[in-house]
Amino acid sequence: MTGPATSEQADGRTRESVARLLLEHGPITAVAVAEQLGISSTAVRRHLDGLVAEGEATTRDAPRTASRGRGRPAKLFLLTEAGRARFGHAYDDLAVAALRFVAENGGEQAVREFAERRMATLVERHRSKVLAKREPSARAASLAAALTSEGYAASTQHLGSGEQLCQHHCPVAHVAAEFPELCEAETAAFADLLGTHVQRLATIARGDAACTTHVPAQKQAGRQEQTPDGGKPA
């Protein structure tokens, strides 16, 4: 009896690892998943097919590249909203109902003030670590680490025009789908913390695979850092 139970537990842990990889790095190919986890492609495809069959993952064709030629396009796997739910959400129907009540009684401004206060609380927990970095790219990486610790599975990618901050999970996606003020407050908080204008490109709340924010390479003019005594840094 011990053998089958142990095998099932190991199988479950592998399925969880595959799902988490889709969460943090999706959309991603089966080959890339196998390489990341160090297991066979056959095993990975079995777990991916299982996630798709259960409605926790979906697929789409990868963009064609010149190097791939005319062959069949590679298939990318990514989690669905049901798949993300296995990693939990910080808010549920009660939070949605509470914000509806706030909106009905205080209007959009009350919802916006709530969203801003929520982000201010989150940001203050990590402000000193992020501001300790001078370069925008380093600050973006520090912010990504802070967001990951808060359950957002965030990472950064360097682009020619700056950094792209990716949040592969959103604990409040269900609420933000109805109340975009949460996303707007988040974007404003990022701009304040990074000391530069940022542009939100996509959000999980709108059905995208990840929340992506563009952080330009150069700081916005007029937003120079100051030393504690009010002067400009040397």
Please state the rounded mean pLDDT for residues 30-56: 93
- Is the per-residue pLDDT at 58 higher than 60? yes
Question: What pLDDT does 20 receive?
Answer: 87
Same domain, 205 and 108: yes
177 and 78 share one domain = no
Same domain, 190 and 109: yes
Note whether residue 227 is domain-resident: no
Query: At residue 188, does pLDDT exceed 90?
Result: yes
10 Å Cβ neighbour count for 132?
10
| Pair 98, 211 in one domain | yes
Whether 228 maps to a domain, the answer reads no
Angle between helices 181-194 and 93-124 (to 10 degrees): 10
Higher pLDDT, 27 or 4: 27
Q: How many domains does the chain have?
A: 2
Dump pLDDT digits (tens) for 198-216. 999 999 988 888 899 999 9
Helices (H), 125-234: 127-131, 136-149, 173-176, 181-194
Print the domain residue range for 119.
93-216
In this structure, is residue 226 part of a structural domain?
Answer: no
Q: Which helix (H) or strand (E) holds 213?
A: strand 211-216
Confidence bin at 9 (pLDDT 50/70/90):
confident
Do 111 and 212 share a domain, yes or no? yes
Q: Which of 183, 76, 190 is nearest to 130 (CA)?
A: 190
pTM: 0.62
Tokens of 18: 């595959």
> What pLDDT, on the 0 to 100 scale, is given for residue 43?
92
pLDDT band at residue 62 under the 50/70/90 scheme? confident
Task: Output DSSP code: residue 38.
Answer: T
pLDDT at 92: 61
Lowest mean pLDDT among 67-71, 198-202, 224-228: 224-228
Are 212 and 148 found together in one domain? yes
Model pLDDT for residues 105-141, shown as the tens digit of each residue: 999 999 999 999 999 999 999 999 999 998 888 999 9
- Which of 66, 84, 102 finishes a domain? 84
From 84, 114, 147, the end of a domain falls on: 84
89: confidence class by pLDDT, cuts 50, 70, 90: low
What per-residue confidence (pLDDT) applies to 104? 94
Do 104 and 170 share a structural domain? Answer: yes
